[in-house]
Amino acid sequence: MIGERDLEILTTSIMEAYGWDFRGYATSSLGRRIQRLMDLKKISTVEELLKKIQGEEWFRHELLDQITVNVTEMFREPEAWVVLRNSVLPKIKSKNDSFRIWHAGCSSGEEVYSMAIMLKEMGYYDSAKIDAADIDETIINSAKAGTYPMNKMELNTKNYYGAEGSAELSKYYKQKGGEAVMNHDLLKNVSFEIFDLVKDDPFGKFHLILCRNVLIYFNQDLQNKVLKKLYDSLHDGGYLCIGTKESLLWCDISNKFKVTDSAGKIYQKPA
């Protein structure tokens, strides 16, 4: 099993080799994910793993995919999307002719397509600019392609209805063999960026930031650092949405946000 000293050595080596700083990730989950990678690739020792990190360029994609946990779904945690649809987005639109949304840690893009679909159904799409960002170039390219296994669309459809979708989810994709290919007109107002939440500087001000099921993998110090960055990236009166299993409760910046919806974990920066 990966120990804390092993993690210190590995995260330092990863930072030196690739520039990714995982030292602020929660040690228990990071250790499990690195162990899983070693098991999958039949790597028996930390020393062998270090050699791959330091000497095999192809291995970086395998490593990043395991550490950053690219597991998501469309309209995940539908109760939060209901609040976005019925309360948050109408308030943003009533005060702004145009507005910006940032999906921080967009993973394989399901959340981005969910937002685009919701905005289209609300008649807000042409007023919105969506920035989708992730640390992993490979996963960003996957998000741009918008191609998902058909066997996942049953859950995505269930979530869509739970989020009060007003049409049929199948309206927004075409089936090609065993895959669902999202309609690319959904990306007309979307920009994808490679962005490292840990070290990169914010790239603008936003009216809504979604950073969902990302903070849960960080230790307390890194959560505080990232949340400060997200707070500074919001317009006054802007909204932050995190995952329903995440919390601002113990974070340094919690008293700077107003709770908009406690169940959906949606917060507002005071105007």
Residue 61: the pLDDT is: 78
Topology at the third CATH level for domain 78-268:
Rossmann fold (3.40.50)
pLDDT on residue 165? 97
Listed as ranges, residues in the chain with pLDDT below 70 are 69-70
What confidence score (pLDDT) does residue 53 get?
A: 86
Q: What pLDDT score does 230 carry?
A: 96
Both tokens of residue 155? 């859950």
Q: What does the CA dihedral 27, 66, 70, 21 come to, rounded to 10 degrees?
A: 50
pLDDT tens digit string along 204-223?
999 999 999 899 889 999 99
What per-residue confidence (pLDDT) applies to 67? 82
Per-residue pLDDT, 79:
95
User: Where are the domains positioned within the chain?
Assistant: 4-68, 78-268
Give the pair of three-digit tokens for residue 96: 């702004």
Question: What is the per-residue pLDDT for 60?
Answer: 78
What pLDDT is stored for residue 19 in this prediction? Answer: 85
C-alpha closest to that of 226 among 136, 137, 135, 138: 135
